[in-house]
Structure 1
Amino acid sequence: MEPIYLDHAATTPLHPDVLEVMQPYYKEFFGNPSSIHSFGRAAKTAINGSRDFIAGKLGCLPNELIFTSGGTESNNMAIYGLLQTNTEKKHIITTRIEHHAVLHPCEWLENLGIDVTYIPVDQSGLVLADDIESAIRPDTALISMMFGNNEVGTLQPVEEVGRIAQAHGIAFHVDAVQALGKVDFDLAALPVDLMSFSAHKINGPKGIGALYISRAKRVAPVFYGGSQERKRRPGTENVAGIVGFAKAVEIIFSSDIEHRSHQLRQKMVDCLQQELGKDGFILNGHQTKCLPHIVNISFPGVGTESLLMNLDLEGIAAASGSACTSGSLEISHVLKAMDLPDDVTSSAIRFSFGMGNTMEQIEYAAQKTATIVNRLRKR
């Protein structure tokens, strides 16, 4: 069988239709969008049209959407930019299971005298809205929380926390990098002030993302140098990337990827139960409040690194969801925050599904996984 890619939460393959619409903006329409001649106007028109389209799908106004280089920049801009407009408030609330693109900026701000409260989660990876409300102080400037966790898939109570933030007059940022196209939401109705997105998670190009900023909120630029993006994000725009992002949004919003991913996820679990039995593995994360395309599974008695290497030798790409440092895997900070036993955290694998995956691939991957697990356990 051809290699099987089950790491769509890390990145997704570029959809051929996305590549097709991008190519003209590397060739014929290569102008700088800030130029006033026809070459520049053509590029600017493409950006405006893409922004209008994406904003329409998200339920926001076009001028509330800023294009960035990806989810990391969007998260940094939301956090740093918001605090720069409200310097008298020096407290942030976030959670222990955030992506490092949120945790590391918060840690850096602590070095600058900002207080950060890291809210714990339960053993399913779920944040309790009451815990967030209890952490609010008079000087709280921002609450930052992800929509759905990138490692275990647990969906967070975004609307409930948003209502709490709204009632207290606190800005609310949501990292929706994994949720875009996988979870239904409407920014016109959702009580969220800032939301981060990335194209390469939805079969779009790498190097392009977006940050939604409600017109009711002001966010300062993180860096300076030009008047692009309404003076909020300087630098010549990535026109081809923006056009590709819009096409990826069009494709994923017109597909049944959410339903299809649910089916693939369930197929993986069912096949593993057939091969290993219900006691042969442990599902991590909330099993109903979850992203459809992510399943995190522990195989006690089998090391994560050994299992990943053996899967790779079989042509199956999966992930640990953990940081790789000096060639060795570290235990996931998300699983640590969930306070799971050591044999669970040290044997966890993340399978994530997307376009191109078939039921046959999932069945094959589950069978190979079970074979490897049984072999390693016998050692």
Structure 2
Amino acid sequence: MFPTYFDFAATTPVDPKVAQAMAECLTLEGTFANPASRSHMFGWFAEEKVETARNQVAELVGADSREIVWTSGATESNNLALKGVFEKHGFSGHLITSATEHKAVLDVAAWLEKHGVHVTYLLPNEHGFIDAGQVADAIQADTRMVSIMHVNNETGAVNDIPEIGALLADKEIIFHVDGAQSIAKVAVNVEALKIDLLSISAHKFYGPKGVGALYVRRAVKEQLVAQIHGGGHERGLRSGTLATHQLVGMGLACELATDVIAEGQRIGALRDQLWQGIRDLPNVRSNVALQYCSPNHLNVCFSGVDGETLLLALNEVAISTGSACTSASVEPSYVLKAMGLSNDDAHSSLRISLGRFTTEGEVKAAVAHIKKTVKALQSAA
């Protein structure tokens, strides 16, 4: 039997409605054509589907559809945002980011450093998130960009994006946000949050893998250099044949996610129920207080119990030690280390993430299984 899925932060299953809409764009009987083929009706219909999807993405984040650039996912979006801006300016200037960003930002920042960009890495505050005061203190005369993720992929900590956006609004500093973990989990409006560049990935909110977008504020477009060339697609910012079926799937996933607040309240209540069920275990604590977290996340330290051993023993639930992109590593989580956890406590921490299809019955069963397993391992230690 398969374990119950509690790893929605790694990826979400495609919503059945999304899968059906995608299937209708694959065969001769459907809308399968190249959207760039404007010499016949097949291409026109495909282009219409793509632009409908672009509108759906834009509506979810409060943007104009002309500000949505298709990519293969948040990793490519992050690369386009950071490399695109600094290449435009000859790899000069200063970047502010955080030590707890996804590797898709940290590895790009390291690459930019090798090309001459000065990078400041902020550490999270005592609550596990980055606040506007830290950003203000780090700003220098040549600061060109601030790149801070909205929701941390490992801990669920929600960074102070509204205040950071307000801080930067009257400055000539580009504000990039990795929104991979926040879209459809917390409300995101690029105008209200004063975001200039926003990275989006469809597979984090019940859309297909391999497709995403970068929101590019019109005022910033001229400060961005394309990283993929060959055809001038996406208003010159990202070349490549558009995958109609993937874009249709992403667009519908955005449409289905419009009631973010109501869904977040339901999932958050289940997350809280799960935590209440295990919080009284000896030496167990949440690494980030729940009021500072996305409703989907719970990162728990089972101090004194090896995380890998616990992960293997918890065979009735599918959870993880941290980011899916670094789960093969035996090193302790760099995110938890940056928050001040010891190597042992970082190794003893697990990420539990819930989603749209999580049920109360699954939560109750998970609580019972986790309590039984942890107590057995603690007794054997």
Scaled by the length of structure 2, the TM-score of the pair is 0.94
The one-letter amino acid paired with 1:34 is A
Instruction: Provide the rounded CA distance (Å) in 2 between the counterparts of 1:368 and 1:114.
Output: 49
Is 1:242 matched up with 2:247?
yes
Distance 1:131 1:343, change over 3 A: same
Instruction: Provide the rounded CA distance (Å) in 1 between the counterparts of 2:245 and 2:328.
Output: 35
Where do 1:145-294 residues align within 5 Å?
145-218=148-221, 219-254=224-259, 256-273=262-279, 277=280, 279-294=282-297
Which of 19, 33, 36 in structure 1 is aligned with 2:35? 33
Paired position in structure 2 for 1:101? 104
**Residue-by-residue CA offset, 1:97-136 (whole Å, 9 max, x unaligned):** 0000000000011111111100111243111322211211
**1:278 Cα offset (Å):** 5.8
Instruction: Provide the rounded CA distance (Å) in 2 between the counterparts of 1:326 and 1:55.
Output: 32
**1:194 Cα offset (Å):** 0.4
Where do 1:1-379 residues align within 5 Å?
3-27=3-27, 28-36=30-38, 37-87=40-90, 89-218=92-221, 219-254=224-259, 256-273=262-279, 277=280, 279-311=282-314, 313-314=315-316, 316-322=317-323, 328-379=329-380
Which consecutive residues of structure 1, in runs of 5 or more, have no partner in the other structure? Answer: none
Distance 1:56 1:328, change over 3 A: closer
Instruction: Provide the rounded CA distance (Å) in 1 between the counterparts of 2:137 and 2:204.
Output: 34
Distance 1:111 1:328, change over 3 A: closer
**1:253 Cα offset (Å):** 1.6
**Residue-by-residue CA offset, 1:268-313 (whole Å, 9 max, x unaligned):** 111113xxx26441101142121000000011111110111111x3
* More deviation, 316-325/359-368: 316-325
**1:343 Cα offset (Å):** 3.5
Percentage of matched positions with identical amino acids: 38
Instruction: Provide the rounded CA distance (Å) in 2 between the counterparts of 1:363 and 1:238.
Output: 40
* More deviation, 263-272/250-259: 250-259
Instruction: Provide the rounded CA distance (Å) in 2 between the counterparts of 1:144 and 1:95.
Output: 8
**1:74 Cα offset (Å):** 0.7
Query: CA RMSD of the aligned region, Å?
Result: 1.7
**1:322 Cα offset (Å):** 4.8
Scaled by the length of structure 1, the TM-score of the pair is 0.95
Which consecutive residues of structure 2, in runs of 5 or more, have no partner in the other structure? Answer: none
The one-letter amino acid paired with 1:17 is K
* More deviation, 232-241/120-129: 120-129
The one-letter amino acid paired with 2:229 is Y
Distance 1:355 1:22, change over 3 A: same
**1:324 Cα offset (Å):** 7.4
The one-letter amino acid paired with 2:351 is R
**Residue-by-residue CA offset, 1:213-259 (whole Å, 9 max, x unaligned):** 00110211012101211111000001101100011111122463201
Instruction: Provide the rounded CA distance (Å) in 2 between the counterparts of 1:165 and 1:272.
Output: 41
**1:49 Cα offset (Å):** 1.0
**1:32 Cα offset (Å):** 0.9
**Residue-by-residue CA offset, 1:61-119 (whole Å, 9 max, x unaligned):** 11101111001011111101111222374210000100000000000111111111001
Instruction: Provide the rounded CA distance (Å) in 2 between the counterparts of 1:329 and 1:267.
Output: 30
Residue aligned with 1:350, SS: strand
The one-letter amino acid paired with 1:282 is R
Instruction: Provide the rounded CA distance (Å) in 2 between the counterparts of 1:325 and 1:147.
Output: 19
* More deviation, 126-135/12-21: 126-135
Distance 1:324 1:137, change over 3 A: closer
Distance 1:77 1:324, change over 3 A: closer
Distance 1:334 1:325, change over 3 A: closer
Instruction: Provide the rounded CA distance (Å) in 2 between the counterparts of 1:53 and 1:324.
Output: 28
Instruction: Provide the rounded CA distance (Å) in 2 between the counterparts of 1:99 and 1:93.
Output: 14
Instruction: Provide the rounded CA distance (Å) in 2 between the counterparts of 1:327 and 1:21.
Output: 34
The one-letter amino acid paired with 1:355 is R
* More deviation, 197-206/48-57: 48-57
Instruction: Provide the rounded CA distance (Å) in 2 between the counterparts of 1:363 and 1:94.
Output: 39
Residue aligned with 1:288, SS: helix
The one-letter amino acid paired with 1:237 is L
Residue aligned with 1:365, SS: helix
